Amino acid sequence: MEPLKHAVSPVGVTGLGSDDKDAISDALTSCLPRLIGARQLYLGFSGGLDSRVLLAALMRLAEHYPHYQIKNKLTAVHVHHDLNAQADAWAEYCQCVCQSYQINFICEKVSLNLSQLSSGLEAAARTARYGVFKKFMQESDLLLLGQHGDDQIETVLLQLFRGAGPQGLAAMAKESQFSADDDRIVLRPLLELKQIDLAHYARDHQLDWVHDDSNDNLRFERNFLRHQVLPNLHQRYPGLIDTVGRSARLCAEHNELLNAYVQEDLVKHLTHQGQSNVGNNYLNLNLNNSLCSKYCLSLFKLAGFEAYSLARQKALIRAWLAHSQVLMPSEVKLTHLIHDVCLAKVDAQPMLTWGHWLLRRYHGHLYLFDQQQDDSHHCCAYHLQEQTWGGETVTLENGQVISSQHLVDLGVDLAHWDWQGVTIGLRQGGERFHPQGHPHSQPLKKFLHAQKIPPWLREQLILVKRDQKTVAILGLALAAQGE
């Protein structure tokens, strides 16, 4: 195991006397109402300086206020990323510290999702950690993290260098929800303190901690800022943590107001699939029986969108994508999305991809697809050669099953159904169809357009023919009697 900083055993804790007050104890005491109100407390415990100091300060607070049972409801969670040769030793160290404090300890090993590494190792590791925290936390539980003011400055600078807007520059909040749809709370009690404050606390209280040598690698942007940039900035601007923290809070306030404003717009444009007039017959199908795969992740109604200013259009599209929990496209992609997809000619059928997301436009709506989960945006998600059919079960290559029940669902009385000359197969183009209630047949393309079936779905429709006349479109329509 790599030598620990100040390698001594954790010392016994004492009460918070008047001579023993410090900034870190004050920061924890100010959070006391939150700690008391939480059902259970979880602490992200890497064993590094930040989380080690936070744990020690929590233990001192627990001894000073024993009647609040802070110690009894605290669990330290160590996430083993398996990225360093010392990772096992760090996990063992964390367990020993928690045993010395007699608190609950969880060590969870994770494997990073390689598909997430495109967003960076740090982001992938953070996603994995939060996945572990969510696994154990319940509603009304509180997660404590040891991030401090220098972490905040690094985050703001990194976001600034990446060209982020108010949301990115808001960086970390002292208190926040896990996400917009997850109201479990994350608390960062040390966010307004310098890292040097934590180092002094560790020295004064004879704490030890593990040192991750990857934090010394200047190849990583955050480490470069930490070791090469921040020392000079602190020397030149002594109040840097306060001023950058204030800017981050102002950006957060601005972003909160913007979100409240844009949500009013979003309600007008957000279309639930069951309420859409687009492809309504298709959308109302029972997907368990439908022969088409999952429709799309989200629908967005474009009516009135062109009248907005560009800034309002961008804010609205961002809000929709955030609501759909989609990776935000770059500024260039977003501009392209608005000009070349949202505002394209009425008869155009544009599309745009970024990451594994795909966006299409049809009949005044945007259709959003996750290409990792859904293949219905393809021209043909399965193949089916035209073949004679007598109602027997046919399994498609995507696992969906065709049976005579699909005819029953369309209102066919199988007892009087003539199977002579019946075939099934995919739409080929050029077919005609005689809808019920219409005096004459019409091109199938015209019928599908009237039904507002998006073009990329039309080639997936399975036609039932009798003597080469289309008598049914499975999952959609039955021809007029006599066909």
pLDDT, tens digit, for every residue of 384-407? Answer: 778 889 888 888 776 778 888 888
pLDDT band (50, 70, 90) for residue 297:
confident
Predicted confidence (pLDDT) at residue 284 exceeds the cutoff of 50: no
pLDDT score for 14: 34
pLDDT score for 183: 79
Distances 287 to 95, 241, 401, 416 between C-alpha atoms, Å: 49, 54, 12, 27
pLDDT score for 450: 87
Task: Catalogue the long-range contacts made by 96-99 (C-beta closer than 8 Å, 24 or more residues apart).
Answer: 97/10, 97/45, 97/47, 97/52, 97/55, 98/45
Higher pLDDT, 350 or 386: 350
CATH level 2 (architecture), domain 18-258: 3-Layer(aba) Sandwich (3.40)
Read off the pLDDT of each residue in 59-63 and give the average, rounded to a whole number: 97
pLDDT score for 115: 59
Torsion angles phi and psi, residue 154, rounded to 5: -60, -45
Least confident range from 172-186, 198-212, 234-248: namely 172-186
Read off the pLDDT of each residue in 157-178 and give the average, rounded to a whole number: 93
pLDDT score for 476: 87
Where exactly are the structural domains of the chain?
Answer: 18-258, 297-370, 387-478
Residues 6+ apart with CB under 8 A from 29: 16, 61
* Secondary structure of residue 19 in the 3-state scheme: helix
pLDDT score for 266: 95
Cβ(88)–Cβ(53) below 8 Å = no
Predicted confidence (pLDDT) at residue 383 exceeds the cutoff of 90: no
As to burial, measured by CB atoms within 10 angstroms (0-12 exposed, 13-18 middle, 19+ buried), residue 40 is middle
Residues 6+ apart with CB under 8 A from 228: 218
CA-atom Rg of the chain in angstroms = 30
Query: Which conformational region is residue 423 in: left (phi greater than 0), alpha (psi within -120 to 50 degrees), or beta?
Result: beta
Which option is the CATH number for 297-370: 1.20.59.20, 3.10.20.70, 3.40.630.30, 1.10.340.70?
A: 1.20.59.20
Domains 18-258 and 297-370 fall in the same CATH topology: no
pLDDT per residue as tens digits for the range 194-217: 999 999 999 999 999 999 999 999
pLDDT per residue as tens digits for the range 446-473: 998 888 888 888 878 889 999 888 888 9
What tokens were used for 194? 């310098």
Q: Is 48 annotated as a binding residue?
A: yes
pLDDT per residue as tens digits for the range 108-160: 999 886 555 556 777 888 889 999 999 999 988 999 999 999 999 999 999 99
Distance CA(5)–CA(206), nearest Å, equals: 10
pLDDT score for 129: 93
pLDDT band (50, 70, 90) for residue 228:
very high
Share of the chain above pLDDT 90, in %: 55
Q: Is 404 annotated as a binding residue?
A: no
Read off the pLDDT of each residue in 344-357 and give the average, rounded to a whole number: 90
pLDDT band (50, 70, 90) for residue 342:
very high
Distance CA(66)–CA(68), nearest Å, equals: 5
Read off the pLDDT of each residue in 45-74 and give the average, rounded to a whole number: 97
pLDDT band (50, 70, 90) for residue 375:
low
Read off the pLDDT of each residue in 317-345 and give the average, rounded to a whole number: 93
Q: Is 51 annotated as a binding residue?
A: yes
Residues 6+ apart with CB under 8 A from 238: none
Predicted confidence (pLDDT) at residue 283 exceeds the cutoff of 80: no
Q: How many CB atoms lie within 10 A of CB 478?
A: 18
pLDDT band (50, 70, 90) for residue 83:
confident
Query: Quick one: which of 265, 267, 349, 346 has its CA closest to 311?
Result: 265
Distance CA(386)–CA(409), nearest Å, equals: 22
Distances 192 to 185, 189, 436, 437 between C-alpha atoms, Å: 18, 8, 70, 71
pLDDT score for 119: 63
pLDDT score for 374: 54
pLDDT score for 291: 34
Sign of CA dihedral 37, 43, 44, 48: positive
Predicted confidence (pLDDT) at residue 17 exceeds the cutoff of 90: no
Q: How many CB atoms lie within 10 A of CB 263?
A: 13
Q: Is 15 annotated as a binding residue?
A: no
Sign of CA dihedral 73, 36, 29, 178: positive
What tokens were used for 196? 């040097």
Residues 6+ apart with CB under 8 A from 92: 1
Q: Is 47 annotated as a binding residue?
A: yes
Predicted confidence (pLDDT) at residue 64 exceeds the cutoff of 80: yes
Number of continuous H segments (helices) and E segments (strands) in the chain: 17, 20
Q: What share of the chain is helix, strand, coil (3-state, %, to 5)?
A: 40, 15, 40
Q: Is 266 annotated as a binding residue?
A: no
pLDDT band (50, 70, 90) for residue 52:
very high
Query: Hey, which residues does 69 pair with through a beta bridge?
Result: none
pLDDT score for 55: 98
Cβ(207)–Cβ(6) below 8 Å = yes
Sign of CA dihedral 161, 165, 169, 175: negative
